[in-house]
Chain A
Amino acid sequence: MSTLPGLRRVEHVMGMPVVADLRDEDLGEDVLEEVFDWLRWVDATFSTYREDSEISRLNRGELGLAGARPEVREVLARCEELREETDGFFDARAASPDLLDPSGFVKGWAVDCAAAILEAAGARNYALSAGGDMRLRGRAAPAWCWRVGIQHPLLRDAVAKVIETRDLAVATSGAYARGPHVIDPHSRRPPSGILSVTVTGPDLGAADAYATAAFAMGGGRAPHWTARLRGYEALLVLADGRVLSTPGFPASSSAASPNVRPGTGVP
């Protein structure tokens, strides 16, 4: 098997591993520099862990919204729209009404912007993944689509489903071994009856926010809410072992025997 074409890089940025996997033949390394420079800028501007980020300065009252960078205002405006769209279940103030934390949206948005950088450089076949949420474009190779495994919520070394896709954002929210992280902003308690939610669609920022919101809703409300999503598809793993998916959720042609790619013979 020959080496795959393109460029690959994994870097720890924004507090998580970010993978850029470019499969186009003729791209220079500098496009990767541009992508990771952008992500580092996002981290410096939006991180709630950095004292000098604009978000931290906004939270301390040292900076007013009017004085913030246009990117910060754009992100906060989108967070507010998403809060309304999700009936308050996606909330940049979920942890505390006094503290802004748009990280739940920033990650996906930053990847969406990074994808635009790649597009401008001529990339048409790539995957960008930030801590398990990703944007896919084109094909992994001329003969096959991107194959994405959805983490099994109970078994660390297994996937619950494999999807094959092109040109799609995929975001998963869930609580696995280390316990719940997402809380229901209304009850301020971890959601119940649900193990994970995966949302797919054109925009990773929105897909991520929808997945977070649906997970926060819990097993009772999430199925109803996700069934009404427009332009986005969802897969829910409920605590009782049922897996619910919207009719347009991407399928895998060979989930039952996923170990061999057609035509490659490579394990």
Chain B
Amino acid sequence: MRRALTATVAAAALAVPAGNAAATALAQSKPKAKPKRRVVTVTKRVAGSEVYAGRWGPLRVTLVVKRITTIVGAHRTVKRTIVGLDVPVYPDHTDRSVFINQQALPLLEQEALQAHYSPNVDLISGATDTSMAFVESLQSALLKARSI
């Protein structure tokens, strides 16, 4: 249940691009008794728990929360504001993959690298930048050979 709740919170936070826009203010105010005031500001980074978003992988949200405590005599007013939002662990589109990959990898066929010399081929596929001279040379030779 807690996990699901965290996911909901994380999703809600993610839905708003800027943390500031989603600023949550938890304020308790009481009437001022005396004019003497003291303000204490603390900024903290708060990490949410890592949530597994189904097959999409884990997700974690951290918030930067600024807490302003205003003390007037025996009364204190606490105001908290979200000033930043970060997603240090997110369901990487690629690593959705963790799930799919584990199924996909055995699908690949594996063999050892072989070398075939003077194969009877029409064309050679190779990396342009590096094997160009070789390809060009071999290609023209192949064309000549076939027109004789």
Chain A complexes with chain B: yes
Instruction: List residues of chain A with CB under 8 Å of any chain B CB.
Output: 1, 3-4, 8, 10, 16-17, 19, 21, 87, 107, 127, 129-134, 136, 140, 146-152, 154-162, 170-179, 181, 196, 198, 221, 223-228, 237, 241-247, 249, 255, 258-261, 266-267
Residue of B nearest to A172 (CB): B125
Interchain CB contact under 8 A, A19 and B143: yes
B interface residue numbers (CB < 8 A to A): 93-94, 97, 100-101, 104-105, 107-132, 134-136, 139-140, 143, 146-148
Q: Which residue of B lies closest to A238 (CB)?
A: B113
- Residues in B neighbouring A172, C-beta threshold 8 A: 125-127
* Given A10-B140, A87-B93, A148-B124, A159-B105 contact (CB < 8 Å): no
Given contacts A8-B143, A87-B94, A225-B94, contact A129 B108 (CB under 8 A): no
Q: Is the CB of B125 within 8 A of A150?
A: yes
Select which of A16, A134, A237 is within 8 A of B132 by beta carbon.
A16
A131 CA / B97 CA spacing, docked (Å): 33
Q: A224-B105, A227-B101 are in contact. Are A267 and B120 (CB under 8 A)?
A: yes
Interchain CB contact under 8 A, B125 and A177? no
Identify B117's interface contact among A19, A107, A157, A225, CB under 8 A: A157
Number of A-B pairs whose CB atoms are under 8 Å? 185
Q: Could you write out 14 A-B pairs with CB less than 8 Å apart?
A: A21-B143, A132-B135, A134-B123, A147-B121, A148-B122, A149-B119, A149-B123, A150-B124, A162-B119, A170-B125, A223-B108, A226-B108, A255-B114, A255-B116
A242 touches B130 (CB 8 A): no
Would A198 and B97 be within 8 Å (CB), given that A1-B148, A149-B116 are in contact? no
Q: Chain B: which residue is nearest A211 at the CB level?
A: B127
Could you tell me if B122 and A132 are in contact, using CB atoms closer than 8 angstroms?
no
Q: Is the CB of B123 within 8 A of A227?
A: no
Q: Among B124, B126, B147, which residue has the most Cβ atoms of chain A within 10 A? A: B126
- B100, B112, B119, B125 pick with most chain A CB within 10 angstroms: B125
* Complex contacts, A147 vs chain B, CB 8 Å: 119-123
Chain A contacts for B94, CB-based, 8 A: 87, 221, 225
Q: Which chain A positions have C-beta within 8 A of B108?
A: 223, 226-227, 244-247
Assembly CA distance A174 to B114 (angstroms): 17
Residues of the A chain whose Cβ atoms lie less than 8 Å from the Cβ of B116: 149, 152, 158-162, 255, 258
Q: Which residues of the partner chain A approach B93 to less than 8 Å between Cβ atoms?
A: 87
Question: Given A151-B126, A157-B117, A247-B108, 5 other A-B contacts at CB below 8 A?
Answer: A159-B121, A160-B113, A170-B125, A172-B126, A173-B127
Shortest distance between the CB of A241 and any CB in chain B (Å): 5
Interface pair B104/A227, CB less than 8 Å apart = yes
